[in-house]
Every structure is written in C-alpha cells, then in structure tokens.
Copies of this chain bind each other. A is one copy, B any other.
Amino acid sequence: MRRPTISDVARAAGVSKGAVSYALNGRPGVSEATRRRILAAAEDLGFHADRAAVALAGAPARVVGLTLHRPARTLGVEPFFMELISGLEAELSLRSYALLLHMVAGREQETAVYRRWRHEHAVDGVLVCDLVEHDPRLPVLRELGFPAVVIGPPPADEPVSSVWSDDAVSLQEAVEYLAALGHRRIGHVAGIPDLAHTAIRAGAFAEHARRLGLEAAPCAYTDYTGPDGARATRQLLGAAGRPTALVYDNDIMAVAGLAVAEELGLSVPGDLSVVAWDDSPVCRIVHPALTALSRDIATYGRQAARLLLASLDGREAVGVAVEPAHLAPRASTGAPADARPSA
C-alpha cells in the first residue's frame, strides 16, 4: 500500500501539483470550485502531506520540544508534569502540532539536545521548565534563535516569553489563612533550593511571616521526594518552638508529613495543620483530606502551548500570568489546640 502523494491528488483532480499545494494550504491562486474538487480528491485518497517533504520545503516542522530534567523532579510521583503535558497536548493538537519529549539527566545535556534539535530542524520551538537563577539554557536558546517559552516565573536576565502563576500570592493566602486560625509558628517544607520558584515561595513565606508578626517561620529545603519531606518534617517538628502548621511544596511530601505526624503521636489538625501545594487526587483521598493550594495545571499547559505557538508566528516575547493557586480548605487544617505562645 503506497502512501498517496500530492501527484496522486493532482492526477485525481485533474490539476497540477502546484494547484493542489495551493488548495491544501488555503492560499489564493485556485478557484473555489477547483479548490473543492481538490480537497474532495485528497480526502478521498486519505492524503496527508509527508512531514519531511513539507519541512524540507521550508515550512515549520510543526513539532515543539519538551525536555524533562529527571533528577530535578520526581517525575511520575508528582502529577504535575503529566497534567501539564495533557494541557500542552490539548492545545498543540488543535493546531496540528506534535509534542516531542526528551528526558535528560542534567542541564548541560539539555542544552546539547537544544543544539541538536535546532540543527536537525527537529522542532520549531521549546518549552522550558524548572528554571534556576541565571539558567544556562536561556543564553543557548537565544544564541540558537530558538523560540521558547518558560513555564514558570519570567527570568530577570533574559528576554523570553513565560507563563507563570504567582506563587507569592498563593503562599500569602495560605499563611494568612493559617494565621487567622490562630497559628503563630508555621513551618515551610520547600522544594529544591536552586529552582527559581522555590526562591519565590520561600521569599514570600518569610515576608508574610514577618509582616504578620509570626513567632517562628522555619524553612527546610528538600528534593521533593516523600522520604526527604518526612525528614524535613521531623527536623522542623523536632526543634524548640515546634510549629503548629506546615506548608509543603508538593503533595507527596504533605502526605509523608501526615504519616510523620501520626508516627510522632500528633493529631492532624489538632496538634498540626498541614497544607499541600499543588492539589491532586491524592490530597483528596488521604485521611484527613489535605487542605491544598489548588490550580488548574492543564490550563497552565494550554496557555504555555498557546504562547509558544504565538512566538512561532513571530510575536514578541511576553509574560502571561495565569490564575494563581487558591486555597482549598479541607480536613487537615484547623485552629491549633494550644494557641498560646510557647515558653
């Protein structure tokens, strides 16, 4: 079964190859009647233009690339990436773009992949996750002239499009909520310290703790895994002036925190309130159900795809803020059993 080519369509419609190309791409140069006849013939033959030929003739490859940095994230543990990809895909398929996925072990590997992709003409643009300060990937992308969209807060040092949700606002909402419940000592189990959004979250946490005059606002960094979240929880709860509430930077660590509380004989929320970032189905089904900062990750992905597609069309770099995560209060938070200041 030979794949039908543009010549087959031309023959079937009784026109030249050029006419078929014009008709298929919706360009002027063919009459409406002819266009219809050509489209019917193409449909009839099940014609789809060979991607390689189209790309070689100068059209975009209609593929965007996403590299995922394995050690920086517990991919497969957090639902975040799968939901993000789901949103990206939804938008990309609308415009017949495909998503090329590549997992890498380090940031240097990532820039090598960008170079290869660019030279191979493999993708038209890339999505960039998990930015660090002075991220080395950005200058490479600029040097390559690669359209790119950062998923996360806009970097200060590079002009590049970005889609982000304002984590500082969400953090503020969580801290104010806990403070209103009467908590005076609130801890933060943060993610990987290098990541730009970790710095933003930790900064907002410290700022609002100060502003609200909290007694204590300790912060512990982690690698986002459950065991490390458990370790950080024990560390924060073991110190003098034990916090009565903890805010976690992902769902898996919050669940681990719940288990540590039980192990230490602390009731949740009586002795300890727990807030998870990035709400997920797991947050809803554990007992007690976790109060979480909830956002629409799929929509976040759609926006990112839309912005990248706009960049491919030559639009200027812009920053787009999506709706920040908002607090979904559930059973894991409440007034502290002892709201009086500790000795």
Contacts from A to B (Cβ < 8 Å): 1, 3-4, 46-56, 61, 63, 70, 74-77, 79, 81-83, 85-86, 89-90, 93, 98-103, 115-116, 118-122, 143-145, 225-227, 229-230, 252, 255-256, 258-259, 262-263, 280-282, 284-287, 289
Contact = CB atoms under 8 A, between A and B. Distances in A.
Task: State how many copies of this chain the complex holds.
Answer: 2
17 contacts: A1-B143, A1-B145, A46-B119, A47-B119, A48-B120, A50-B120, A50-B121, A75-B82, A75-B86, A77-B281, A99-B100, A255-B282, A255-B285, A255-B286, A258-B286, A259-B286, A259-B287
Query: Most B CB atoms within 10 A — which of A77, A118, A227, A230?
Result: A77
Contacts of A90: 103
Contact of A61 (B52, B82, B227): B52
B226 A281 contact: yes
Given A51-B52, A70-B86, A120-B49, A76 B77 contact: no
A82 B76 CA distance: 5
Contacts of A79: 76-77
A70 B227 CA distance: 30
A321 to B, nearest CB: 23
- Please provide the 9 A-B residue pairs with the shortest distance between their CB atoms, ordered closest to farther: A76-B82, A48-B119, A52-B55, A226-B285, A259-B287, A52-B56, A76-B79, A256-B285, A89-B103
A92 to B, nearest CB: 9
Contacts of A263: 287
A212 to B, nearest CB: 31
A103 B86 contact: yes
